[in-house]
Chain A
């Protein structure tokens, strides 16, 4: 094997400045305003009069080096070799003149990239690793993203909504993607408690930390077996014990499923940031195309489209009409699981006699 170069430690990431397009570097901190030109392009105008044009394309986040090289080549050819990625897994290409937009966009299209994701539509879906790379995934994440965006891609490329609808997917309740403040989020959930493999608990788990990991104190020691036991009626299937102790597998292919939560946002625009709340407690985990899930997402989205006023996010629309009305408008059944019995439960009870009659 060839000689390896000398390693360095604690040097931190490369400084961002070397990666900035010259126009961005020159106008750093001097931007005056921006305009959205199309759902896939925008221009930022500087106090100096300089302009930078951005073209945004979708990516599946999981990218091969082959595709990254194609992106690098396009950036080299059209953008002086500069590009960036967004937090929602899109890719942005920069040009410094309007005349350079059309050639860039036509090459991106020719190479199969989907242009869009800017403005009041549906941008890319933030998501977790799922079956591609995670040990605690209750469902796949990349697959759900693909089938939902296949259904909704027109809102990425052309169609506009009252405001942005941010969709997120977490393949288990760990929610690595922190999807809990999204307009519509899908979360992989379990319905059954973990199964205790006593021999392996004894050999591979630390019993005190396993017991401490349970938020409902459902786990207690089982000294006879040098293992643990679970009070089944107390278990809320969070899987936190499985994260700490691999000998307590919780995956259950028949009963694992997908919950949908809605109405969250992170921006402070108009109203304070909001958590997403439960709309559908469980849908079957039905790969490869999850028809029940995509239909439910469309059902919720269509109710929002029919009811929201301009600039209202999903959560703002629901707040205005009331959650009782939301269940009616979205044609969703209100079930016992919707009533909170966890940490913040009492703040959710309706302490007023004023509410809307719904069917």
Chain B
């Protein structure tokens, strides 16, 4: 097929060693008018240095309030193929594992109804199908859902939860991140598909403090695997690392709490002073393994800077067992959402709400006992509140 538009600027992005998104759009344009018109539209953006997409309109599938992002070009007369160019968010399986057959199934449906372009994956973790028309949405949903797939979250709802690879392929997984993610997703189908929150709510689950899913930076609820008890040491393997790495400089010398030393040939760890940062385990994976009592630390509130500055999640539950049926966890989530619903403003993330009304009030209202693990340091000022029961009348 000859090119529909000349795209001299985008052609510059087919050069160079790294795989090119322009080449991908061109491949799709071989069999999709939508993708062909996308090339023309994006070329114009490159020329004018500005986007040509309008705000999303409200589109979706029957019975759901999310999962589809409406997208329209602001110059449909020039590029009719992308007059509608809606995104469909397909809820990805935990850990982004697929089979060849599953990938082919997705491709077959998408080639039939959409542009042939995808994102593997969107930032939140959805399998993103990029570009279709309003009239195809019900068909797409029927084709996917009848084959066992469902839509992900969008808008003021629980967003598609995501996780690191966890126990599937990592020796540091203190919790079963993929099972937890799948369970949360199934548990809260209504909260995901029918937006009823003040704003979005994201769960991300990491198996350890290395946090390969970046939960601490971008999840309203960050579930980070950890342990209690002593780090398990294989002293023979410690010996094997001698000569391969400089244990004194690279492991002991970089321990943030200074809780390790060599005693002769033996590595000694003062576990009562270990903060479980994972550095030593990451440097000597054959010799060191997490302690035996496994669970998670729950942290809350992270978000990007829009609007009053970025937040990182902070500790609200220092240690919780994360094992099915996760009763304690779900009870806490229920309480948190109820409190957010009662107190949150429109478009206010849970972290912003806690910041606005005060962390102590959150703890009091939810009846969570304060713990030094929740703060970096205690307050510096003398302006604290008391309750009636603290006062002698």
Contact = CB atoms under 8 A, between A and B. Distances in A.
Interface string B44-71: 0110111111111000000110000001
A289 B9 CA distance: 9
Interface string A117-145: 00000000010111111111101101101
A76 interface: yes
A137 B305 contact: no
A131 B101 CA distance: 32
Contacts, number: 367
Contact of A9 (B64, B94, B125): B64
B78 interface: no
Interface stretch (B261-269, B307-315, B323-331, B333-341): B307-315
B150 A289 contact: no
B167 A29 contact: yes
B365 interface: no
A318 interface: no
A14 B13 contact: no
Given A253-B50, A288-B10, A13 B24 contact: no
Interface residues of B, number: 129
B217 A19 contact: no
B293 interface: no
B42 to A, nearest CB: 6
Contacts of B103: 68-69, 71-72, 75, 83
Interface string B1-26: 00000000110110111111110110
A92 to B, nearest CB: 9
B299 to A, nearest CB: 10
B96 interface: yes
Interface string A284-325: 010111000000000000000000001100000000000000
A134 B106 CA distance: 23
A133 B9 contact: no
B270 interface: no
Which of B63, B98, B111, B171 gathers the greatest number of chain A CB atoms within 10 Å? Answer: B98
A135 B54 contact: yes
Given A10-B190, A147-B13, A181-B217, A267 B209 contact: yes
A114 interface: yes
B363 interface: no
Interface residues of A, number: 118
A132 B171 contact: no
Interface in B88-102: 90-102
A44 to B, nearest CB: 5
Interface in B142-167: 142-143, 145-150, 162, 164-165, 167
A256 B182 contact: no
Contacts of A223: none
A91 B64 CA distance: 31
A253 B182 contact: no
A31 B170 contact: yes
Contacts of A97: none
Interface of B: 9-10, 12-13, 15-22, 24-25, 27-28, 30, 35, 38, 42, 45-46, 48-56, 63-64, 71, 85, 87, 90-104, 106-107, 110-111, 116-121, 123, 125, 130-131, 138-139, 141-143, 145-150, 162, 164-165, 167-171, 173, 176, 178, 182, 185-186, 189-190, 193, 209-218, 250, 254-256, 276-279, 282-283, 285-286, 289, 302-310, 312, 345-347
Interface of A: 4-16, 18-20, 24, 28-29, 31-35, 44, 52, 54, 58-69, 71-73, 75-76, 81-87, 89, 91, 112-114, 126, 128-137, 139-140, 142-143, 145-147, 149-150, 153, 156, 170, 173-181, 209, 212-213, 215, 238, 240, 244, 246, 251, 253-254, 256, 264, 266-271, 273, 275, 285, 287-289, 310-311, 342-344
